[in-house]
Structure 1
């Protein structure tokens, strides 16, 4: 067991913290970049690791990569990646702003491999995070303990892990081998036998649910998939070029400066631009698949709209779902072998952040404009949250759209605080 000490420690080598790493490398502060470490629990970098499906595309323009909107000349841009890989001409010829998801994932690993100063430690899963305190009780830093017993001490902690998976209470008590959340799909489905019939129920009406519904036809060739969801029907994201301006990095200032009630209203009105919807081309593909089944006279799949799950239990070697039709109020039972949950993410702060906030006596977790939690003016330590701040920074906070600018703002705050500390010590 060893102890390592750094100035900045970032948990999770996803888009948020890789964008921060690039911003630090390009900030001119080589010293701080050299003293920054990213912890990644897996042996490599992958974006949406368990939904890297062959057909899946990014729903955000490649121009909104880790750096371009902040520094179009950066060597870390998506176009620089394509050039380095020898695919730039062919990608341009595709005529699309939406690359395959697996290509964006490859881009992230390429960025990680080409960092000169910021370090990444792979296979480093955090077991606990705790504040480090001075003799007077003020928080001066953080200690992350890894599952292998190693510890890492830092002054500033940046959490960019993504939200926790949302498993509705109706499914919480099913045996683990009977239910797969979308965050586990590819890994878990690959362990399932492909040589026997299996009745699969997919829960949800958003992109992840529809992607699993499509993918399981091939992944389990003898499966009979049914998609069940509460809404009136699968629908595309409700967006337009005018609405998309609310995803501009410049809109974050306007949103942050608005009264809390106004922010809440905006989020409610804009919700369907990012949640409970599908990309329009994929929606068409899904409908076409179902129509082709009907055309061939072999209806392998089914979609049940306006249906809610009242209860899920295991009984006699099967999963039993008690359902209610929202149109008629009638209930019925569906039996299946496997449940796939496309139910998204818990909208609360991640459990790790909530636990950490409790240790420092914070009840309501909120960040300032530069994404730093208020720990008190006398506190030397910093805690930055990336991707959890929709309530204060807008719906784009969990998306790729603001990565480049957010990383710049956090980097600026890190450097400004060190300048202030240096001046106070004179």
Structure 2
């Protein structure tokens, strides 16, 4: 079991913390960047790996990369990535603002590989984070526990771990082999034999569900897919240029300072700009596929609208879904072999954040304007939360639109409040793998509830 000290630890190597790492290298190259560490539980950097479908495109302009809105001249820009891999001219010739999703994912990996000061380590799964206090009760740091038994102490902690996948209660009791959440689609579908004529049910009426409904037709060629949703039908995102201005980084100030009822109105009216809708091209493709299926009399594809899944069970060698018609209240059974969930993510804070909040004695998890976790009492340590602050910072908080500017704000906040010099022994332990002088001896791990 090893213990290390760093000044700043960022948990998760998704776009939020990659943008932070870039900001640290460009804004704090002397000292802080060299003593910062990003840890990632996976073996590599990949963006939404479960949904890296070959034809899927990003729904955000390439100019909203990890750095351009903060520093258009940065070497970490998406344009420089294209130049580095020899694809800039071809991309320009495409005439599109929206790169393919696999291309964005490769860009993120390229950024991770291009870091020269901030360290990034893979296969480092975090199991718990605990606050550290001195004899006076002042919060002085954070102790992060990893699955391999090692620990990392830091003064600054940045969580960019994303929200937990949402598995609706109705499906929780089904065997794992029967249910695939969109976050694991590619990996799980690849494990299935292609020749089996699966009866597949896709749950949901938004982008991820629609993409799975489309993809499974070729991924499992003999399957019969049915799409079930609560809504009256598939809808496109509302994407007027006026509402898109609420995705500007400058819109955060107005949202953060707004009254609670105004925030609620904004979030409600902006919901269809990011949730419960589809990219127009995806919608057109699906409608054409359904039309052709009817025209040719195949009857392979089915879309069921305005129905709730009120129960799900395994019966012998199949899954039985109970569907309740929202219009009539009538109940019918739908039997299938596989359920694909386009059910999104849990709205509550991630379990790791909730575990830290419990350790701090917080009833509610709140952050200030610069994304710093609000903690009671005296503190010389800080924790920042990325991508989970939609309620206070607006609908764009979890999206690529905010990454570059938010990273700049967090970095500047750390630099502004940073004490002169580093805490004694900090950084020294990073090289030796031993606790810094005076570092607390880690206690036994504290389990973190998965609920």
User: What is the TM-score when the length of structure 2 is the normalising length?
Assistant: 0.92
1:39-76 Cα shifts (integer Å, max 9, x gaps): 11111100001100011100000000000011000000
Asked whether the 8 Å contact 1:201–1:228 carries over to 2, the reply is yes
Q: Deviations over 1:17-50 (max 9, x none)?
A: 0000000111044210011101111111000011
1:204 paired to 2:208: no
2:70 pairs with 1:45: no
Residues 165-215 of structure 1 show CA distances to partners (whole Å, capped at 9, x for unaligned) of: 011111111111110111111111111121211110000011111111111
Q: CA deviation at 1:295?
A: 2.0
| Equivalent residue runs for 1:189-338 within 5 Å | 189-338=189-338
Structure-2 residue corresponding to 1:63: 63
CA distance in 1, matches of 2:264, 2:8: 33
The answer to whether the 8 Å contact 1:387/1:397 transfers is yes
Deviations 1:355-395 (A, max 9, x none): 11010011111110100011136211111000000111000
Q: Which residue of 2 aligns with 1:87?
A: 87
Q: For residues 292 and 35 of structure 2, what CA distance do their matches in structure 1 show?
A: 57
1:155 corresponding residue in structure 2: 155
Query: Counterpart in 2 of 1:122?
Result: 122
Q: 1:179 aligns to what?
A: 179
Asked whether the 8 Å contact 1:141–1:382 carries over to 2, the reply is: yes
Is the Cα–Cα contact under 8 Å of residues 30 and 117 in structure 1 kept in the other structure? no
Q: How is 1:325-364 mapped onto 2 (pairs within 5 angstroms)?
A: 325-364=325-364
What residue number does 1:113 align with? 113
Contact 2:29–2:117 (CA under 8 A) maintained in structure 1:
no
Matched, 1:166 2:130: no
Instruction: Give the C-alpha shift of residue 419 in structure 1.
Output: 4.3
3-state DSSP of counterpart to 1:323: strand
Equivalent residue for 2:408?
A: 408
Deviation string 1:93-145 (CA, Å, 9 cap, x unpaired) is 00000000000000000000001100000011112221222123332111111
Kept in 2, the 8 Å contact 1:59–1:279? The answer is: yes
Question: Separation in 2 of the partners of 1:42 and 1:28?
Answer: 27
Give the TM-score of the pair, scaled to structure 1.
0.97
In 2, the alpha carbon distance for the partners of 1:262 and 1:233 equals 29
SS state of the match for residue 335, structure 1?
A: strand
The whole-number CA distance in structure 2 between the counterparts of 1:290 and 1:222 is: 16
Q: Partner of 2:432 in structure 1?
A: none
The corresponding residue for 2:388 is 388
1:242 partner SS = helix
Contact 2:137 2:378 in 1 (8 A): no
Q: For 1:180 and 1:32, how far apart are their aligned partners in 2?
A: 41
Aligned residues: 422
Note if contact 1:35-1:118 (Cα within 8 Å) is conserved in structure 2: yes
Looking at structure 2, the residues matched to 116 and 307 of structure 1 have their Cα atoms a distance apart, in angstroms, of: 53
Q: Which digits, 9 at most, give the CA deviation of each residue in 1:386-419, with x for residues without a partner?
A: 0000111000001000111100000001111114
> Take 1:128 and 1:118, find their aligned partners in 2: how far apart are those partners?
22
Aligned to 2:447: none
Q: Superposed, which structure 2 residues align to 1:9-48 within 5 Å?
A: 9-48=9-48
Contact 2:81/2:110 (8 A) holds in 1: yes
**CA separation in 1, counterparts of 2:355 and 2:150?**
20
What residue is the counterpart of 2:370 in the other structure?
370
Per-residue deviation at 1:287?
Answer: 0.8
Partners of 2:320 and 2:130 in 1: CA distance? 42
What is the rounded CA distance, in whole Å, between the counterparts of 2:364 and 2:19 in structure 1?
27
Q: Distance in 1 between matches of 2:361 and 2:377?
A: 15
Find the aligned partners of 1:73 and 1:310 in 2 and give their Cα distance: 53
SS at match of 2:89: helix
Give 1:278 deviation, angstroms. Answer: 0.5
Deviates more, 1:143-152 or 1:400-409: 143-152
Secondary structure class of the residue paired with 1:90: helix
Report the Cα distance in structure 2 between the residues aligned to 1:350 and 1:264, rounded to whole angstroms: 22
The Cα offsets for residues 269-306 of structure 1, whole Å up to 9 and x where unpaired, read as 11110000000111101111111212222121111011
The DSSP-based 3-state class of the residue aligned with 1:30 is: coil
Separation (CA, whole Å) in 2 of partners of 1:252 and 1:419: 28
